[in-house]
Chains A and B, each alone.
Chain A
Amino acid sequence: MLEVTQLEVAYGGIRAVKGIDLRVGAGEVVALIGANGAGKTTTLKALAGLLRPKGGRVTYKGADVTGKPAYHLVRHGLALVPEGRGMFQRLTVAENLAMGAYIRNDAAVVAADTERVCALFPRLAERRRQLAGTLSGGEQQMLAIARAMMARPQMLLLDEPSMGLAPLMVQKIFETVRMIAAEGVTMLLVEQNAKLALETSSRGYVMESGCIVLADDAKTLLSNPQVRHAYLGE
């Protein structure tokens, strides 16, 4: 579904991603783990079309999409749930969901989808008319995922869905992530919570200062002594 070869991203002169290779097959959930500042978010932003790569190639559904802007990729079913949730605080929950379906103009289907995500997140349904800025952190993360689902993506890029949430809430969010994956949505999951991320994925990549240092099955990575030591705190 997504093929990345020798991707390089730089901020000014500083190279944050130094030529990485990555592959996500259709229907697969792949984790990208690593410490703070390893370049995970930068990679995701480049894949979502929010940053222009400096080098390398990105192929999505067989087409070269290197450097294509986000509004182009979203129309082709590639959606990002940004780090820090990216709430539209002054819009209501319902309006945030509507923004998720911004690229679509089949009102009837959008209405049906709104019902569908509201069934998935009953909490959001209760708060439809509330401004997004007044939601709790967990609710905002739910809204961020629900909003991305409104674009009917074939592939989701999830950036740190567990960030700043209490353990119970993190469990809930990951339950939803698994549910969405079970529906056949392909996912690339960036996480600091390596254990949860790998338990949710089939394969994983480990990133360290702009490079991919390990790539393997999620199970193998979970039992890899290096990974256990560096990311699982054992």
Chain B
Amino acid sequence: MPTPFIALDKLDKRYPDHHAVKSIDLDIEAGEFIAIMGPSGCGKSTTLRLIAGLDEPTDGDLRIGGDSMRGVPAFQRNTPMVWQSLALFPFLTVAENVAFPLRMQKVGAAERRKRALEWLDRLGLAGMAERNIAQLSGGQRQRVAIARALVTEPSVLLLDEPLSALDAHLRVRMQTELSRLHRELGITFVYVTHAQSEAFALADRIVIMSEGHIQQVGRPQDVYRAPANAFVAEFMGMNNLIRGEVRGNDEGMLEVGSTLGNFRVPTLTTRPEGSRGDFVIAADRVVLAADMEGPGIAGTVLGLEFVGSTQTVFIEIEGGTEFRVQKQQHEIEALDLVPGRQVKLNWDSRHAWLLPQPGTTH
């Protein structure tokens, strides 16, 4: 196995009033696009600042290219970052902003101007070089920040919620742009975001964090289909979590009893009766039927929410549990799903995902 390009080794960060990052381990390969996700306050931004050297870890080690970064100040790391606030220098022109890192490296004036202009051109900002930052639109400023971070041709780019200030349309365009840059440059991108859509659209692997711990690391589709625990399942949004206990084992299937009824869930190992049998069923796996005599759980449509060509249907089950079901628009119309309508929910048992037991690795 090759040595990882960036290695977090039991990395830990305590503030006087807050334990932000709790002894995390993470290996990032060279050239990988990795997204760190989690709710606000989960430690994802602190992790990024630790990699950049803007915060010193309390404990553990961080290695970049095999070298320990303990005690290496931020300005000697060449780990440029695109800031959520962009942090452009307001007293410098666009070209001077982009040339700033080169100036710090004592590159000659003519050379750094040439390289700054090249990067501006590459990011579609040709002709903007002499403008003030205040004269640019949000999307243009974003591009200046990216050009400024890449001008020294680093081997890693850190991005801290870079698109959160843009409107939806621009955000999608910038995603494409970032994806293209990552492909062309072949360098490592570490991208912190709370937006699932950005992480899924861009990342090779995603890291889910909560309360300073890493909850799961994996390819987006794996984390989505096979969440490691209830937190990840619920954080991913489009999963329905059913809590239950094991009633029996039957040839690779577990019998799980819950307040909603008895279900069969695929499993690789057996579990003793009475132990936890929590499982998830993805929103796009649930089948809806109008026939109330058929099998399944009965529920009432609460409301609908558009997500592109699909809709999310919110269904309340007796006892107060809420289900989310994703359906194409034509299916919604065929079933005439309006708030208040009674439906039956069902799914293929093979599509249920049993959550690993707490304390075991899956």
Q: Do A and B bind each other?
A: no
B interface residues, Cβ below 8 angstroms from A: none
